[in-house]
Amino acid sequence: MSYINNDALVDAAWVADHLDDPQVRIVDGTWHLPPTGRNGREEYDASHIPGAVYFDIDAISDPDSSLPHMMPTAEAFAAAVGAMGISNDHRVIVYDADGLFSAPRVWWMFRAFGHDNVAVMTGGFTAWKNAGNQVTAEVPSPAAETFKAQLNANMVRSKVQISANLDSGAELVLDARASSRFAGKDPEFRPGVQPGHIPGSGNLPYGEIVDAETGTFASSTDLRNAFDATGATGVQPVITTCGSGITACILGLGMHLIGRDNWAIYDGSWTEWGGSDDTPIEAED
């Protein structure tokens, strides 16, 4: 299916055709919610696409924050990806175990630090294996490259900015969590985080724009309809949020695909907002 920004996605066949391309770097960005008991690094070590390096979302983060996987400094990001053998001249392809879950977070991080030549492999590692492609447990040792990073602050929002937006209403806040969590009917799994949502925010569960079985996005028409129904028509700027800033990036990538790029990620997301004692919370009765 064709999107306005179709180059943000590739499939397993494309990756198979470019495994030996010196201008391409393959990145495994697998991350799992803690309650699953799964570990992305352990899964990568056991089996991955040949030549792929592992991007540890939890490790490449702000070490001084008590919140999970908050954005690192530009210097820290540059050092981490440069050590992976990635330079600013490379086309970066990110995949995850399940198709479209954590890979969009890595995609967004690269773009937030100024590297637009990055795409997500739809279908994830499952699609790669189902196509009969080779897998390996061999961890590559790439030569370090120089990567220059500069954070685009317009792509990130803080708690202070979200608080200010409660009064101004300048930006539409769109939550990617399941509707039951958004409504506050399900408890949050992180200790000290209250159920509910940011006052005035809308809800578009990421599962409504992603096919979980195939790890692919909905059609461009369905994406437009889904976002339009929430008021995210492309006119008003959008702030996407979720539990901890992972699936919020799925909504961001979805909007990018249909040419709506006036959005940012609330990095602290509900873990920060729902875990604070100075933030208002809405929940359904």
Up-side HSE of residue 1: CA atoms within 13 Å toward CB? 12
Q: Which residues are catalytic?
A: 242
Q: Rounded to the nearest 5°, which phi and psi values hold at 118?
A: -140, 145
Distance in angstroms (rounded) separating the CA atoms of residues 47 and 68:
26
Q: In 203-279, which residue ranges form alpha helices assigned H by DSSP?
A: 220-230, 248-257, 269-273
- The residues spanned by each domain of the chain are 6-151, 154-273
Q: Which pLDDT score, from 0 to 100, does residue 2 have?
A: 87
Q: What are the distances in angstroms from CA 188 to CA 115, 177, 225? A: 34, 11, 29
Report the candidate in 109, 119, 32 with the shortest Cα–Cα distance to residue 74: 109
Instruction: Show the tokens assigned to 40.
Output: 């992305």
**What's the distance, CA 108 to chain centroid?**
6
> Do the domains at 6-151 and 154-273 have one common CATH topology?
yes
CATH architecture of 6-151: 3-Layer(aba) Sandwich (3.40)
Report the candidate in 281, 241, 52 with the shortest Cα–Cα distance to residue 158: 241
Distance in angstroms (rounded) separating the CA atoms of residues 86 and 79:
10
Beta bridge partners of 202: 174
Which residues fall within 8 angstroms of residue 6, CB to CB, at 6 or more apart?
257
Q: Which pLDDT score, from 0 to 100, does residue 108 have?
A: 98
Distance in angstroms (rounded) separating the CA atoms of residues 41 and 83:
17
Contact criterion met (CB below 8 Å) for 33 and 57: no
Instruction: Show the tokens assigned to 179.
Output: 């509707």
Contact criterion met (CB below 8 Å) for 206 and 242: yes
Q: Which pLDDT score, from 0 to 100, does residue 1 have?
A: 59
Report the candidate in 138, 275, 80 with the shortest Cα–Cα distance to residue 196: 275
Contact criterion met (CB below 8 Å) for 217 and 255: no
Q: What is the pTM of this model?
A: 0.97
Class of domain 154-273: alpha beta
Up-side HSE of residue 5: CA atoms within 13 Å toward CB? 18
pLDDT in tens, the chain (285 residues): 589 999 999 999 999 999 999 999 999 999 999 999 999 999 999 999 999 999 999 999 999 999 999 999 999 999 999 999 999 999 999 999 989 999 999 999 999 999 999 999 999 999 999 999 999 999 999 999 999 999 999 999 999 999 999 999 999 999 999 999 999 999 999 999 999 999 999 999 999 999 999 999 999 999 999 999 999 999 999 999 999 999 999 999 999 999 999 999 999 999 999 999 999 999 987
**Does residue 72 sit in helix, strand or coil?**
coil
Distance in angstroms (rounded) separating the CA atoms of residues 147 and 160:
30
**What's the distance, CA 192 to chain centroid?**
24
